[in-house]
Chains A and B, each alone.
Chain A
Amino acid sequence: MWAYVAKRLLLAVPVIFGVAFVVFAMVRVVPGDPAQIIAGETATREFVEAIRKDLGLDRPILQQFASFLAGAARGDFGRSIRSRAPVSEELAARIPNTVQLTIAGLLVAVAVGVSAGVISAVRPYSWLDASVMFVALVGLSMPVFWSGLMLILIFAVRLSWLPAVGTGTLAHLILPAITLGGATAAIIARMTRSSMLEVLRSDYIRTARAKGAPERTVVNRHALRNALIPVITVVGLQMGTLLSGAVLTESVFAWPGIGRLMVEGILTRDYPVVQAAVLLVALAFVFVNLLVDLLYALVDPRIHYG
């Protein structure tokens, strides 16, 4: 198993390297000049040139890439073009927020999604199934900037139960977690339902029922556990996505996470911030994927990595 982990980590190196290069090239290909953006719309040409030189943007691109890699290897991503603060500090300020929101959102998503999926699968094609799946479809189709605003209007503006936006207390986390978890819950619910339906039709479930196991045990122990593999895959993918920042949710709830940092970085052509953030996200993705694969073995003892 450890050999497998080592192999996977080694394989991640070219992936990360590739991502680094693509991002590095991409931010530079996009029109728009960071020097011009820092200098302001009203700056003179000399001033823009001077800033370009400060930033090292006048050097050949491969040379820039080399010094970026050298810095990254030491954990030094340079300073943000815009705020002039170390990029590592900018990221460090956002990571806890993103992790918090991801975990809270996933908790909501898994709790709601798996239960809804199981309920639907146990009573397939009933009115219960239909209504649960209808709600899931609505949840999936609703853009978060709309559903988020609706939640704010209802729970903060009308009822004054929860704070509208911002961070700080657990209460601040509830609405963004529901918004974010809602959309993901819908995906998980549909996945759980179809996976459960398939498992419930299998022979060993019939055997379990035949030997007189109570329905609750059949569903929870025998069926759900076997149906979870594809669900874990989806949850893993969603986790990677959420870790890379839920830009819309973050914007609506004024949540200072990685997603907003990246989008602001792109809009202001803050190359060092975008590069470092994308690299971090790629790392998170690789790591979560590995975690998911290891989790398979935990859920299903038939799978093991030798």
Chain B
Amino acid sequence: MHRLLVVLATIVLTSALGFSAAAAPAVAPTRGGTLIVGSGTDATTLDGHLYTDSPTATIMEHMTETLYELSPEGRVQPRLALSHTVSPDGRTWTFRLRPNVRFHDGTTFDAAAAKFNLDRVLNPATRAPWRFLIDRVTEVTAVDSTTLRLVTNAPFAPLLAHLTHSGLAMQSPTAIQRLGADYARQPVGTGPFRFREWVRGDRVVVTRFDDYWGEKALLDEVQFRVIPDDGARLAALEAGSLHVAVRVPPREIERLRAGRDPIVRIDTSLRTIFVAFNVTRPPFSDRRLRQALNYAVNKRAIVQSALAGTARVSDAPIAPNVQGYSPVPVYDWDTDRAASLLREAGYSRERPLRAVFHHPTGRYIRDAEIAASIQGLARRVGIELELRTLEFGAYIALTARPREQNDIQMYMLGWGTVTGDADYGLYALFHSSQWPPVGFNRGFYKNDRVDQLLDRARVTVDQSQRNQMYAEAMRLIAEDAAWLFLHSESQVTGVRAAVQGLIVHPGERVMAHQAWLRR
């Protein structure tokens, strides 16, 4: 008996040792193979200037490149550009472009091609949704084959960050001119993968581009498959039909962690989830009530229970890896403070504050469950929230109505600061020029000092000065309790253990540029 135990223990120990040796990443990358990535929706269009959704961005990122890129750590770094200089008045930007780059169809990438692309985005007839990122550019000039010059109508600090956006990708001018509207079904970029096929509603396939200017891809092929159902996508991953599955439901994390394959990875996202108050209408025109709700809601508990700890409690209106972020004092859970603020404002348990709370269902991770938690936590301090949900298309239309017709009291939304720069996050959400129907300040927040700071930060080129301005603006926004601050989401991705070198970018993109499959 004893001997048997010893033998067993030896087997267990040696196999454990063997396993840890195998897990060491000393293996050299292998070339070849097909990586299959499963996501929830199909690409909308494959014209890199015309899409708005992140599943399409994921696909396009493999085929097209931008002048600058946002590293997963949040740094802006050159890609198709090599360097830049800015004139003393901050309005003329001169870029040196990378020489010897070719598009997949053989067309040379040069300043003329870059000009063609930026002009195409700027041309209102193109209807490029990301035009606003560079709409302060008034003039694009190809000085010589590797020098590009942009002139803006005013100094515009976020320009480099905006040029990282994949909606401003460089695509082959020859292909765009030749194919017209059909270009959207056969894109041509400069990236490490080239387009192969798009089977509607099923898959997009890209293959390695062997003449890529940079470090060549290791995989032969990447397939982006559409599997709408979260549960089925996860099952397909477990069955080995997929290598990567995005948006793993948080309640499955625990179970998956018990096994060795697939692996769950949790990566940060630039998306912040919040509840905005309509500050122009009662009851939330009263700042004390907005603060009371902020104190009443235990955000940490929501993140722990509804999101299985995968999100990060917000300590600013933008996520931490956005340039310009700094933590500001927000509201810790304090039901006594909440109760006393409610009393001050004339409410009590006998005469509770009543409000209607709009929220989407199925748009953000566990949005409806989170809304219900907020309702439950608010009830404990004597705030009665009535939940209302709508299908997302109708929801967006409802929240975008101009102030006179907008009777929403509080509503949940998410915002991805996809440029990685605070301007995009704060200006659109808090500047008073951005009230609907113009912009995204759908709670009609207005604070003159905040407006001033956001305007100045936009034209200040010095980043440390900008950071200070954003810090002050965010402090004011938090003091005003313009939002019920919630959390920034994390991306929960299921990955087969054989997949190496995969990047899940905070901009909600899965990148297989240097990924490989361990045999």
Contact = CB atoms under 8 A, between A and B. Distances in A.
Interface of A: 30-33, 36-45, 47-48, 50-51, 54, 79, 82-85, 90, 93-94, 145, 148-149, 152-153, 156-157, 160, 163-167, 251-254, 256-257, 260-261, 264, 267-269
Contact of B235 (A32, A157, A261): A157
Interface stretch (B298-306, B328-336, B390-398): B390-398
A157 B132 CA distance: 46
Contacts of B235: 149, 152-153, 156-157, 164-165
Contact of B437 (A45, A51, A83, A160): A45
Interface stretch (B10-18, B67-75, B221-229): B221-229
A256 B202 CA distance: 6
Given A166-B202, A254-B225, A149 B184 contact: no
Interface stretch (B237-245, B345-353, B371-379): B237-245
A76 to B, nearest CB: 14
A167 B201 CA distance: 11
A164 B227 CA distance: 11
Given A157-B238, A254-B228, 17 more contacts: A31-B397, A38-B129, A40-B52, A82-B45, A83-B44, A84-B50, A84-B181, A149-B231, A153-B235, A160-B239, A165-B232, A165-B241, A166-B225, A251-B229, A254-B232, A256-B199, A261-B201
Contacts of A166: 202-203, 225, 227, 236, 241
Contacts of A148: 232
Given A47-B131, A149-B231, A166-B241, A36 B201 contact: no
A51 to B, nearest CB: 6
B183 to A, nearest CB: 10
Closest 5 CB pairs of A and B: A256-B201, A32-B393, A40-B52, A156-B239, A164-B236
A148 B227 CA distance: 13
Contacts, number: 140
Given A84-B45, A145-B229, A149-B231, A47 B127 contact: yes
B368 to A, nearest CB: 17
Given A45-B438, A164-B236, A54 B231 contact: no
B324 to A, nearest CB: 18
14 contacts: A36-B397, A38-B129, A44-B132, A45-B438, A47-B129, A48-B437, A51-B127, A83-B44, A160-B239, A164-B232, A165-B241, A166-B202, A254-B202, A267-B392
A41 B424 CA distance: 13
Contact of A268 (B124, B201, B233, B393): B393
Contacts of A157: 235, 238-239
A152 B238 CA distance: 10
Contacts of B199: 93, 256
Contact of B236 (A31, A94, A165, A260): A165
A149 B232 contact: yes
B200 interface: yes
Nearest to B201: A256
Nearest to B53: A40
Contacts of A83: 44-45, 184, 200
Chain A CB within 10 Å — which of B47, B400, B438 has the most?
B400
Nearest to A91: B200
B226 A254 contact: yes
Contacts of A79: 181
A149 B228 CA distance: 13
A42 B184 CA distance: 22
Contacts of B238: 157
B193 interface: no
A149 B238 CA distance: 12
A224 B414 CA distance: 60
Contacts of A82: 44-45
B428 interface: yes
A174 to B, nearest CB: 14
A257 to B, nearest CB: 8
B185 interface: yes
A50 B200 contact: no
A93 B202 CA distance: 10
Contacts of A39: 52, 129
Contacts of B201: 93-94, 256-257, 260-261, 264
Interface string B434-475: 000111100000000000000000000000000000000000
A41 B132 CA distance: 13
Contacts of B231: 145, 149, 252
B185 A85 contact: yes
B226 A33 contact: no
Contact of A32 (B50, B131, B391): B391
Contacts of A261: 201
B426 to A, nearest CB: 13
Given A33-B397, A37-B396, A148-B232, A43 B129 contact: yes
A176 B266 CA distance: 32
Contact of A85 (B52, B184, B393, B396): B184
Chain A CB within 10 Å — which of B185, B227, B233 has the most?
B227
Contacts of A38: 52, 129
Contact of B184 (A43, A84, A163): A84
B396 A41 contact: yes
Contacts of A264: 41-42, 201
A84 B129 CA distance: 14
A264 B43 CA distance: 12
Contact of B232 (A44, A54, A152, A269): A152
A258 B389 CA distance: 27
B127 A54 contact: yes
A251 B400 CA distance: 30
A85 B240 CA distance: 33
A116 B502 CA distance: 51
Interface in B150-201: 181, 184-185, 199-201
Nearest to A172: B241
A90 B47 CA distance: 17
Contacts of A254: 38, 202, 225-229, 232-233, 236
Contacts of B392: 267
Contacts of B439: 44
A50 B315 CA distance: 38
